[in-house]
Structure 1
Amino acid sequence: MSLPRSAALSRRSLIAGAGGIAAAALLPSQALAGGRPSTALGIRGADLSFLPQLEEAGVKYRDLAGRLRPCEEIFSRAGATYIRLRVWVDPPEGYSDKARALALARRAKRAGLKILLDPHYCDFWADPGKQPIPASWPKDLPGLTEKIRTYTRDLLRDFARQGTPVDILQVGNEITAGILWPVGQLYLPDGTQQWASFTDLVKAGITGAKQATPGRTPKIMLHIDRGGKLGDTQWFFDNVISWGVEFDIIGQSYYPMWHGSLAQLQENLNDSVARYDKPVLIAEISYPWTFEDGDGRGNIVTSDAILPDVDRFPVSPAGQAAFYEEIRRVLLQVPGGRGLGFMAWEPEWIGAVGWEPGAEAPNDNLTQFDWTGQALPAMRAYRRP
């Protein structure tokens, strides 16, 4: 998820298209059994990248029984198996740089959580509406191809050296419209589509991951923001595969206010595993538990008018919990057990830290804790199937 333009709706970039190319690929080894995953929903976790900043602001968390615990332990004890960590190249002071991600990875390992790493390849937020090149990086395709390879290699080596190897790597964040703009921007204002340069950059990142720890390459995920958008998903992955990008997992963001109904999500996930013979992961998801605003400075979701299934899942703690239960059901219905699981996005972000310095926390009604840090019933969604 990204929070530009007053942290509101600019992520709703529209991408249209179609295609018709399918190809087989390897499935994640940790889920293989006779060529198919043996355990559904093996990935149950959350992106907790803001956690260190929240703790520094004095936020504390309590589990469903009201016991104070470190936040990552609350998730682990609830049944979570993964943490997702965001990494920016040179962000504002205090935000998610490599050092913070490494420190949080050590905590995650102590809590028994595996690591999904999300390098944005940007100095700050990256999403389908913006993918700026880091200020210190080259600005030409050959230079960027080499830089993304060595940066990815060195980043994964740093995680491995401290005993927290990366289990899943996503090459960029919500790369539906490309990466490292304008060099790897997928489509330009004049209608030009730059698939060659975009896929060269993605391939270079994958190469870096393979070079980091030979013999223990993380599974590679390509992450887009088209959860319930079938045509857009086909357009992207048909093209990626036709350009020879080799990857393991299809990652989707699914926010019902932008990405369609649950029925559309089910249709898209089912189509992807059949069309590409790859497992799917909901890499980002959230749902409101209230329309109130915890910091009084504005939120993303303020009305049920933009929630397609709100009649089934009213905006309340119980409605939010029911929504996550339905997400579990949707994933378990994916053919062949290839619905790998879900990662809630910043469910601990209950306020006190802005999406940028001095700004608001527009996500504080989409969390899985109330504003006092008390876990909400949705926490039960992390239990084993």
Structure 2
Amino acid sequence: MKKIFKILAISVLLASCTSSKNSFVKGADVGWLPQMEATGYKFYDQDGTEKECLQLLKDRGMNSIRLRVWVNPNNDKASGHCSKEETVAMALRAQKMGMRIMINFHYSDSWADPAKQYKPKAWENHSFPELLNDVYNHTFEVLSALKTAGVTPEWVQVGNEIPGGMLWPEGSTDNWVQLGQLLNKGYEATKAVDKKIKVIVHVDEGNNNVKFRNFFDNATAQKVKYDIIGLSYYPFWIKKDYSETITDLEFNLNDMVKRYNKDVMIVEVGGEDDKVQNTYELLKATIEAVKKVPNNRGLGVMYWEPQGEKSWSGYSLSAWQADGKPSPALDAFKEN
């Protein structure tokens, strides 16, 4: 009888692991969190009790954490940290709480985004063949350190918001042949650590189908290897309300799946912290748009730095209140 109970218990555990692995992704990028805690920032639940930030996010239905990694970052409070060592520590902490992990490689010493893709200082004078090795070695080294610590990420982003390429000028979209090679080096290094890790290529303005077709048509022509198309969706930055662009986002999500036969995920979304109802509605609509993608090929939605409250970060698209409590806007994750 004990043997039967043991088998049943193992079966239930395996089933729950599989279900968790396949469940809809609801998550947050929390790259600022260790620095916030180090500077004494306190997080509180709605009843005023102090609580660990990841637990607050988990209580609101989140099951995944995204972490950026920089090559040789400085110690600046908001634009530094996120080294390999800090990323490993944070990933281990999140995994211990049952969270799924995404690692976001910027291939820079600080922020990389559509406006800037600066090479790490240590790579500045490297030839293109050396840059290929740099991308492979850095990716492999960070992921190997994570694996040694007991964390195998579920997803890896090769580059952050790269509509214009990365590691400029060599990896600019003005030179797609070289960009394709750099992206493939990141993919190959990731799969060398663990073939099961899914590789994401990430472009901003998720509602802009023309931008996405242009980028991924070129990626296809260069035989770029990847598993998932990652999208950012920030109505704020294009000065439009989500209600004006959500249909375009839906169209683009579906078009990416059909055109390239890839899964899609919103890896960054955010709304204005002082427009709680509007941000709640934005999140609800975004989650619904991704869930509506046929055959479960819309994988999930991640908020960018919801805990990065404005008084600490200066960032007005967080989802946290001045009193240290989560914004009610985040209830959209719990309810959907």
Q: Residue 4 of structure 1 corresponds to which residue in structure 2?
A: none
Distance 2:150 2:59 in 1: 22
The 5-angstrom pairing of residues 95-244 of structure 1 reads 95-137=81-123, 138-187=125-174, 194-213=175-194, 216-244=195-223
Shift of 1:42: 1.3
Gaps (5+ residues) in structure 1?
Answer: 1-30, 188-193, 291-314, 354-360
The 5-angstrom pairing of residues 363-374 of structure 1 reads 363=315, 365-374=316-325
What secondary structure, in the 3-state scheme, does the structure 2 residue paired with 1:68 have? Answer: coil
What secondary structure, in the 3-state scheme, does the structure 1 residue paired with 2:121 have? Answer: coil
The 5-angstrom pairing of residues 36-55 of structure 1 reads 42-55=24-37
Which of the pair is proportionally richer in helix?
2
Distance 1:319 1:196 in 2: 42
2:286 to 327, 330, 346: 327
2:307 aligned with 1:362, yes or no?
A: no
Distance 1:120 1:90 in 2: 11
Q: Residue 282 of structure 1 corresponds to which residue in structure 2?
A: 266
Shift of 1:285: 0.6
1:229-253 deviations in Å (ceiling 9; x for gaps): 0111000001101211121100011
TM-score by length of 2: 0.87
Residue identity in the other structure for 1:228: N
What secondary structure, in the 3-state scheme, does the structure 1 residue paired with 2:111 have? Answer: coil
Distance 2:91 2:163 in 1: 27
Structure with the larger RCO, 1 or 2 (CA within 8 Å, 6+ apart) = 1
Shift of 1:49: 0.4
* Contact 1:209–1:217, Cα closer than 8 Å, also in 2: no
Distance 2:159 2:278 in 1: 32
* Contact 2:183–2:225, Cα closer than 8 Å, also in 1: no
Distance 2:249 2:65 in 1: 23
What secondary structure, in the 3-state scheme, does the structure 2 residue paired with 1:136 have? Answer: helix
Q: Residue 7 of structure 2 corresponds to which residue in structure 1?
A: none
* Contact 1:86–1:118, Cα closer than 8 Å, also in 2: yes
TM-score by length of 1: 0.76
* Contact 1:54–1:352, Cα closer than 8 Å, also in 2: no
Shift of 1:352: 5.1
Q: Residue 247 of structure 1 corresponds to which residue in structure 2?
A: 226
What secondary structure, in the 3-state scheme, does the structure 1 residue paired with 2:151 have? Answer: coil
Residue identity in the other structure for 1:114: R
